[in-house]
Amino acid sequence: MTRRLLFPLNPIYAAAVGAKNAAFDKGLVRARRLLWSVISVGNISVGGSGKTPFVIALARLLKQHGVYVDVLSRGYGRNSDAVEQVDPTGDVERFGDEPVLIAQSANVPVYVGARRYAAGLLAENILGNKGIHLLDDGFQHRRLARAVDIVVMHRSDLQEKLLPSGNLRESLGSLHRASVLVLREEDVDLEQELKRRGIEKPVWFVKRSIILPENLGKAVAFCGIGRPDEFFHSLQKLEGKIVARSTFGDHHRYSEGDVQQLIRMAQAQRAEAFLTTEKDLVRLSPTQRTMMASVVPLKVAKLVTAVHDEASVLQSLEGLLPPNFAHSL
């Protein structure tokens, strides 16, 4: 069944989302408040907006300026209900792939739990002194109060339909709740388009780049992320070195069969390396990595997000956060 056939269900989904938001807007349901200030980072579409790299970039920026910061995450796809701190070298089945990647890349504490409030309490009980929580994928998680709501946008959000026939979790009208919108530097025109649609919010721009391994040789590229086309497009500069490619679903858990398939592709194409993303690498078990590396080296293309005008971003946050937290920026 194509998703287009699900369009008649869109009004039902829209009504459910609208009812939930109205309940919070009217105070019928109250958000719970943690001791520390919360900065939410989210999006309005399913997968591939660049939210996770932005969380990593913001966590690093705050940490570099002496702010104690941690990350609270649901841990999508994890097989545990425990509220706990993420081990950066731990199992993605236990913690979730994005929390493990954030813990590794940002080098800040990450806490997971379906109830982000409970994860925040754990963080505050462990440390005690004041810091700032970054709430990963928090725009729709309105049960936890926040001081700042950052929404990472993708160009396609302006053309998408609501779930289930499209990829929008909420309509563009929900952006009126946002404190700040994040756009890619190449999407500068979207700022005016959003204003034309009545959405006037402060905008931060980010630069996204990819760091490719040197001396790669012929490679089999594979990924299981939200927008695989963007990953493969970024590899065009390799000038024909990608001899085969394979795409898996977002958050895909790699099986032994998947690994064997990739190995056969590498052998058939006489490849000299496997190339994948950091998010995919954390989803490969140590055994799977060893299997692949025994055939040809397993290499990673690193996606890096950098915030334009860091001083302005920090100044903006200082104006949005309560005074007792803002003074630390």
pTM recorded for the entire structure = 0.94
The verdict on whether residue 90 carries a ligand-binding annotation is: no
pLDDT of residue 240: 86
Q: Is the pLDDT of residue 72 over 90?
A: yes
What percentage of the chain carries pLDDT values higher than 90?
89
Per-position DSSP letters for 114-140, written without gaps between them: SSHHHHHHHHHHHH-S--EEEEET-SS
| 51 close to 154: Cβ distance less than 8 angstroms | no
Region 274-293: mean pLDDT is 97
The verdict on whether residue 299 carries a ligand-binding annotation is: no
User: How far apart are alpha carbons 119 and 316 in whole angstroms?
Assistant: 27
**55: nearest Cα among 75, 40, 45:** 40
Region 7-30: mean pLDDT is 96
Task: Give the CATH number of domain 3-208+306-326.
Answer: 3.40.50.300
The verdict on whether residue 51 carries a ligand-binding annotation is: yes
Tell me the per-residue pLDDT of 189-200, one tens digit each, with 9 for 90 and over: 999 999 999 999
User: How far apart are alpha carbons 232 and 276 in whole angstroms?
Assistant: 10
Region 63-80: mean pLDDT is 94
Tell me the per-residue pLDDT of 229-246, one tens digit each, with 9 for 90 and over: 999 999 988 878 999 999
pLDDT of residue 182: 98
Tell me the per-residue pLDDT of 166-190, one tens digit each, with 9 for 90 and over: 999 999 999 999 999 999 999 999 9
The verdict on whether residue 305 carries a ligand-binding annotation is: no
User: How far apart are alpha carbons 266 and 143 in whole angstroms?
Assistant: 47
Tell me the per-residue pLDDT of 284-313, one tens digit each, with 9 for 90 and over: 999 999 999 999 999 999 999 999 999 999
User: How far apart are alpha carbons 305 and 52 in whole angstroms?
Assistant: 9
The verdict on whether residue 302 carries a ligand-binding annotation is: no
Q: Where are the domains of the chain?
A: 3-208+306-326, 212-296
pLDDT of residue 272: 97
Any idea what DSSP says for residue 244?
E
Region 314-324: mean pLDDT is 91
User: How far apart are alpha carbons 301 and 216 in whole angstroms?
Assistant: 11
The verdict on whether residue 166 carries a ligand-binding annotation is: no
Average pLDDT value over all residues in the chain: 95
Confidence of residue 328 (pLDDT cuts 50, 70, 90): low
User: How far apart are alpha carbons 224 and 217 in whole angstroms?
Assistant: 22
Region 208-220: mean pLDDT is 94
Lay out the sheet containing 69-73: strands in order across. 84-85, 110-112, 69-73, 132-136, 37-42, 148-152, 180-184, 203-211, 298-307, 273-277, 219-223, 242-247
The verdict on whether residue 105 carries a ligand-binding annotation is: no
Tokens 């097989």, residue located: 79
Containing H/E element for 23? helix 10-25
| 88 close to 111: Cβ distance less than 8 angstroms | no
pLDDT of residue 248: 97
| 125 close to 111: Cβ distance less than 8 angstroms | no
Confidence of residue 5 (pLDDT cuts 50, 70, 90): confident
Query: In a 10 Å sphere around its CB, with 0-12 CB exposed, 13-18 middle and 19+ buried, how is residue 189 labelled?
Result: exposed
- Give how far Cα 156 sits from Cα of 30, 45, 49, 161, Å: 32, 9, 9, 10
Q: Is the pLDDT of residue 19 over 80?
A: yes
Confidence of residue 77 (pLDDT cuts 50, 70, 90): confident
User: How far apart are alpha carbons 258 and 280 in whole angstroms?
Assistant: 13
Tell me the per-residue pLDDT of 93-147, one tens digit each, with 9 for 90 and over: 999 999 999 999 999 999 999 999 999 999 999 987 789 999 999 999 999 999 9
Q: Is the pLDDT of residue 149 over 60?
A: yes
Q: Is the pLDDT of residue 22 over 60?
A: yes
pLDDT of residue 47: 82
